[in-house]
Amino acid sequence: MEHNLANDELNVTRPAWNHQRLVPRIVHIGCGAFHRAHQALYLHHLLETSDSDWGICEVNLMSASGKLLVEQLRQQDLLYSVTEKGAEQNDVHLVAAIKEALHPALDGHNGIIEALARPETAIVSLTVTEKGYCTQGANGELDADNTLIKHDIAHPMTPKSAIGFIVEALRVRRERGVAPFTVLSCDNLRDNGHVARAAVVGLAQLRDTALAHWIDENVTFPSSMVDRIVPAVTDETQQEIRALLGVEDPCGVACEPFRQWVIEDKFVNGRPEWDRVGAQLVADVAPFEMMKLRMLNGSHSFLAYLGYLGGCETIADTMQLPTYRQAALALMMQEQAPTLSMPEGIDLQAYANQLIERFSNPSLRHRTQQIAMDGSQKLPQRWLDSVRYHLLHGSDCRHLMLGIAGWMRYVLGQNERGEAFDVVDPLSATLHDINQHTPEGDARIRALLAVRTIFGDDLPANPGFVSHLQQVYAQLCQHGARAAVASLNQEPK
Ligand code: NAI
Ligand code: CS2
């Protein structure tokens, strides 16, 4: 018999229930590290403490690694581990919330569409990264020029994008008279429910207006704020997991102990009692989403670009530098907190202090380069809405300005020692082109600002904003990231 997590003696307790009990009422698209350590673990805790029968059908659509993960999950009876790494101790959970796992290369398009279309599927949840929604612009409209979307328009019954699969499955459900499902986005996007709706209805509209109308009327797209720091798994993490479990777990993930999930309570076909295991079900998620995107993700991206340029491999490394720590806190409290309007009882100073502590967790090796990925998709909601707020109010936002300059310097694909690295971003070809064909300095800044899907029309047209950015960028290039971050704390407010 093969040695694996399903068969071997383990150092941790096995769940008391088996998969027979589970009904795959949730189909989750994007079984990445985050989903395994967050939504699947919430459900696991619910199964632990109640007689709930909600289970997950995992779907990966992309990449060879997504297919491999599905194969590995199947090999170990759909069990895997989550290791919560505190500064001082580790807690390991063996998760048994998955009922099945699918990939188009293994199960065919039809296998996935049928899973989405079967009557027991009540929720389709998503962690497909910001780019997986195939939208653009401030209102998150469907990008009809996106390669995947072009394909799905031409071949709607054998789609490639997550959005295409959802539209086709809803078409089948409507045709069969099966009730619709809820689409629950769990990605770091501003108003993620609205973005998911715009993408799904937008694609359906290009196909069949009656279908688009039916979806718009019958499907709900609750927004959710999701939070837990889950770094990509490295060989080192794998070895740690092996030592803790006593056996290898290629599907295992490690993360911080903190977790939060705030969900808009708007489900058309039922939902698990997530509130019994710590999720907050609320009427309006927007303030929580905004708080998290601007304070956590906004400072994360700042630390990622300026930290990487300054030679820090991980976020915890940046927290070792007092000037970076101070800048992250100042960015949160002076430049992001004033843009938020929070329900009573939320203490933003306490939230910021807790974030600094979470970022400092020495056991988490969250690489600055991982967070720096896909900046073109992240900047608008993390920084640029706040910059607009400060431009309108005439208030100081020099940390955000240095962040933007840091991103512009980063996308050159060359570190401060002149060594080249890959810029991973859906717009990497455009960014590369700009860097190749415009001279370094003000012209390049203008060319980068002209990428409309990131900066819109207003920011490049604001002379005060452009000249401030040119000045900050020049200083960053001349003195380097560490000096630029240190100088933030010296300038008068
Ligand atoms: P990951 O790289 O482990 O997984 C990404 C998943 O998205 C994979 O299943 C992949 O197949 C899928 N995917 C990627 N591009 C896609 C596309 N165009 N269409 C369909 N599926 C696609 O990344 P991870 O850590 O799971 O993060 C995924 C997302 O979860 C993030 O982008 C973010 O929005 C959200 N998130 C992540 C957190 C973290 O700390 N890792 C915390 C909070 C939210
Ligand atoms: C990070 C987030 O990769 C990134 O861009 O900022 O994934 C961050 O770790 C999570 O949002 C924390 O919940």
Domain boundary among 226, 260, 282: 282
Q: Is 230 in the pocket of ligand 1 (CB under 6 A)?
A: yes
Q: How far is CA 277 from CA 48, 121, 246, 264, 347, in A?
A: 10, 22, 28, 16, 23
**Residue 267 and residue 351 in one domain:** no
Q: Residue 13 falls within a domain, yes or no?
A: no
Closest Cα to atom 34 of ligand 1: 187
Testing ligand 1's pocket by substitution, the residue of 129, 152, 364 carrying the most ligand atoms inside 8 A of its CB is 129
Q: Residue 7 falls within a domain, yes or no?
A: no
Q: Residue 1 falls within a domain, yes or no?
A: no
Q: Residue 4 falls within a domain, yes or no?
A: no
pLDDT at 148: 96
**Residue 372 and residue 444 in one domain:** yes
**Residue 471 and residue 451 in one domain:** yes
Closest Cα to atom 4 of ligand 2: 371
Sign (positive or negative) of CA dihedral 136, 141, 145, 149: positive
Q: Is 39 in the pocket of ligand 1 (CB under 6 A)?
A: no
Q: Is 63 in the pocket of ligand 1 (CB under 6 A)?
A: yes
Q: How far is CA 422 from CA 310, 377, 464, in A?
A: 17, 17, 32
Closest Cα to atom 19 of ligand 1: 132
Q: Residue 141 pairs with which residues in a beta bridge?
A: 136
**Residue 98 and residue 178 in one domain:** yes
Q: Is 110 in the pocket of ligand 1 (CB under 6 A)?
A: no
Residue 291 structural domain: 286-488
Distance CA 15, CA 13 (A): 7
Ligand 2 atom, smallest distance to 300 CA: 6
Q: Residue 135 falls within a domain, yes or no?
A: yes
The domain tally of the chain equals 2
Distance CA 357, CA 299 (A): 13
Q: Is 183 helix (H, G, I), strand (E, B) or coil?
A: strand
Q: Is 225 in the pocket of ligand 1 (CB under 6 A)?
A: no
CATH (domain of 483): 1.10.1040.10
**Residue 378 and residue 244 in one domain:** no
Distance CA 75, CA 411 (A): 40
**Residue 278 and residue 348 in one domain:** no
Q: Residue 394 falls within a domain, yes or no?
A: yes
The ligand with the least distance to the CA atom of 151 is 1
Ligand 1: centre distance to CA 49 (Å): 28
**Residue 323 and residue 235 in one domain:** no
Q: Is 228 in the pocket of ligand 1 (CB under 6 A)?
A: yes
Ligand 2 atom, smallest distance to 378 CA: 5
The ligand with the least distance to the CA atom of 368 is 2
**Residue 437 and residue 374 in one domain:** yes
Ligand 1: centre distance to CA 66 (Å): 11
Q: Residue 3 falls within a domain, yes or no?
A: no
Q: Is 66 in the pocket of ligand 1 (CB under 6 A)?
A: yes
Ligand 2: centre distance to CA 370 (Å): 9
Ligand 1: centre distance to CA 32 (Å): 5
**Residue 229 and residue 304 in one domain:** no
**Residue 215 and residue 66 in one domain:** yes
Ligand 1: centre distance to CA 372 (Å): 14
Domain boundary among 251, 282, 313: 282
Backbone region of residue 388 per phi and psi (left: phi > 0; alpha: psi in -120 to 50; beta: other values): alpha
pTM: 0.96
The ligand with the least distance to the CA atom of 192 is 1
Give residues (CB < 6 A) around ligand 2.
Answer: 188, 227-229, 296-297, 300, 370-371, 378
**Residue 269 and residue 305 in one domain:** no
Q: Is 435 in the pocket of ligand 1 (CB under 6 A)?
A: no
Ligand 2 atom, smallest distance to 301 CA: 6
Q: Residue 493 falls within a domain, yes or no?
A: no
Q: Is 381 helix (H, G, I), strand (E, B) or coil?
A: helix
**Residue 264 and residue 305 in one domain:** no
pLDDT at 493: 46
In this prediction, the residues of the chain whose per-residue pLDDT falls under 70 are: 1-2, 137-139, 491-493
Ligand 2: centre distance to CA 461 (Å): 30
Domain boundary among 225, 259, 282: 282
